[in-house]
Amino acid sequence: MEKMLEKPSFMKKVLTEKEQEYIASRGRMAAESLAAMWAAKEACLKAFGTGIIVPMTEVEVLHDNGRPYYCLHGKAKELLENGQVFLSLTHEAGMAAAVCIWSV
């Protein structure tokens, strides 16, 4: 992920403007935060049972006082229908993981 931070085309393709701002604010933790954000997006789409069929920017990962949450857009929001998605992230020592729970 450290190499991906240096690729503006990757960052624009995968992250919304808000997510890019968040990553930029993370300093030396930027790569780990990016890895966790990627894991969160992938976990959400896998919870839907679709794999990665929508643009990653449609699965936005935001933070409220440190609590990560999803903000879905476009096709990703349609896939959710009337359900809810919950998110937990962790990253430390070069490792990142995400858990997405889809409740219908």
Give percent of the chain above pLDDT 90: 71
Write the CATH number for 32: 3.90.470.20
Fill in the DSSP letter of residue 48: T
Q: Which two tokens stand for residue 15?
A: 């992250």
Q: What's the mean pLDDT when you consider all of the chain? A: 92
Pairing of strands 95-103, 84-92: antiparallel
DSSP state of 76: H
- The range of the structural domain enclosing residue 91 comes to 2-103
For residue 75, count CB atoms less than 10 angstroms from its CB and return exposed for 0-12, middle for 13-18, buried for 19 or more: middle
Total number of domains constituting the chain:
1
Q: What is the DSSP letter of 52?
A: S
Tens digit of pLDDT for each residue in 85-97? 999 999 888 889 9
